């Protein structure tokens, strides 16, 4: 059984002017997502600036999201770390709070061999009972989990259920799915590759775009799952320029700017991330208008 099918939002973390997490705003964003058909909330991932949250803030965000969502849709907690013991701690706490699943990124900076990846993910998975989605994003971590490693984990660790693939390497995903069959659930980690990865057997997407266009992203995945591949493709192509602008600077710089342009007042970013360059912001604004998003 998949943790979810369709479009899950990699939700941002809103901050107050003083830099604290704005939980009231986070609650508003969760309600906005649910009202617009989002199929799952992924809290404390890359887009949520988890790397600059303290452990206390990280766990508070997970606990708040679980309670606010109240089982209406699944909550998947980002609890990965480049330290196995830290990932185990965050994961066991998230399970206690009632998270429906975990998202575990490959270790960054210190990285790991494929053997090390197997041991890292196995140790974390054995510490919890809830299902796990691996997160492969070598462009940010410098660490690529190979298809053979994913399949080995899926076959030998019962609660490793899926993978968020953000390598951008379609050939690698083809190999993964040819080896894995139905042993692993595939989710696109790139908003410009939702339809391509679903055509390879993907269950949906963990999306940045969903922060500002939840209904359209949900519909893109839902149409594909319902057999309306042409309708899904049309939405994918329509979103191309907007997605391009959402990644013209390091995520989540552009998406937070976009949300503020919509009047959502999600606050600023934590250093080392900085505000978007004015020229890039104008391009983003134009793409949003062309897509049909209303600005403040």
268-278, pLDDT tens digit by residue? 999 999 999 99
Indicate which residues carry an active-site annotation. Answer: 135, 164
Task: Give me the pLDDT at residue 86, please.
Answer: 98
Res 5 pLDDT > 90: yes
Buried b (16+ CB within 10 A) or exposed e, 64-99: bbbebbeeebbbbbbbbbbebeebbbbbebbbebbb
Q: Residue with structure tokens 């998975």?
A: 125
Given a contact cutoff of 8 angstroms between Cβ atoms, the answer to whether 191 and 7 are in contact is: no
**Maximum Cα interatomic distance, the chain, rounded to a whole number of Å:** 51
Cβ neighbours of residue 89 under 8 Å, at least 6 residues apart? 55
Res 88 pLDDT > 70: yes
Res 1 pLDDT > 70: no
Task: Give me the pLDDT at residue 35, please.
Answer: 98
Task: Give me the pLDDT at residue 181, please.
Answer: 87
122-159 pLDDT, tens digit per residue, is 999 999 999 999 999 999 999 999 999 999 999 999 99
142: tokens are 């410098």
Going from the N-terminus, what domains does the chain have, and what CATH number goes with each? 6-226 (3.20.20.70)
The distance from CA 273 to its chain's CA centroid, rounded to whole angstroms, is: 18
238-269 pLDDT, tens digit per residue, is 999 999 999 999 999 999 999 999 999 999 99
Question: Quick one: which of 173, 160, 206, 174 has its CA closest to 187?
Answer: 206
Task: Say whether pTM exceeds 0.75.
Answer: yes
Residue 8 host element (H or E): strand 6-10
Cβ neighbours of residue 262 under 8 Å, at least 6 residues apart? 212, 288, 293, 294, 295, 296
Task: Give me the pLDDT at residue 4, please.
Answer: 98
| pLDDT over 90 percentage in the chain | 99
Task: Give me the pLDDT at residue 104, please.
Answer: 98
Q: How far apart are CA 174 and CA 181, in angstroms?
A: 11
Q: How far apart are CA 283 and CA 149, in angstroms?
A: 40
Average pLDDT of every residue of the chain: 97
Q: How far apart are CA 284 and CA 242, in angstroms?
A: 7
């Amino acid at each position: 059984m998949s943790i979810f099918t369709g479009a899950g939002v990699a939700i941002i973390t809103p901050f107050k002017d003083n830099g604290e997490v704005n939980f009231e705003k986070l609650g508003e964003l969760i309600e906005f997502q649910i009202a617009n058909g989002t199929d799952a909330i992924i809290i404390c991932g890359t887009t949520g600036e988890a790397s600059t949250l303290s452990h206390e803030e990280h766990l508070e965000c997970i606990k708040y999201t679980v309670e606010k969502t109240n089982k209406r849709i699944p909550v998947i907690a980002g609890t990965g770390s480049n330290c196995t013991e830290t990932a185990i701690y965050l994961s066991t706490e998230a399970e206690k709070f009632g998270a429906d699943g975990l998202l575990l990124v490959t270790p960054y900076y210190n990285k790991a061999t494929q053997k090390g990846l197997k041991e890292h993910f196995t140790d974390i998975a054995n510490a919890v009972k809830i299902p796990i989605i691996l997160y492969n994003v070598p462009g940010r971590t410098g660490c690529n989990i190979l298809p053979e490693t994913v399949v080995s984990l899926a076959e030998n660790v019962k609660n490793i259920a899926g993978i968020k693939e953000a390598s951008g390497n379609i050939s690698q995903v083809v190999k993964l799915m040819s080896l894995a069959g139905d042993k692993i659930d595939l989710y696109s980690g790139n908003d410009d590759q939702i339809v391509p990865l679903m055509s390879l057997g993907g269950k949906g997407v963990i999306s940045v775009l969903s922060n500002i266009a939840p209904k359209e992203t949900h519909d893109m995945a839902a149409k594909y799952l319902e057999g309306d591949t042409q309708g899904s493709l049309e939405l994918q192509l329509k979103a191309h320029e907007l997605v391009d602008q959402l990644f013209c600077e390091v995520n989540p710089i552009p998406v937070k700017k976009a949300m503020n342009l919509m009047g959502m007042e999600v606050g600023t970013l934590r250093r080392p991330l900085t505000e978007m360059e004015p020229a890039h912001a104008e391009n983003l604004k134009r793409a949003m208008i062309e897509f049909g998003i209303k600005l403040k």
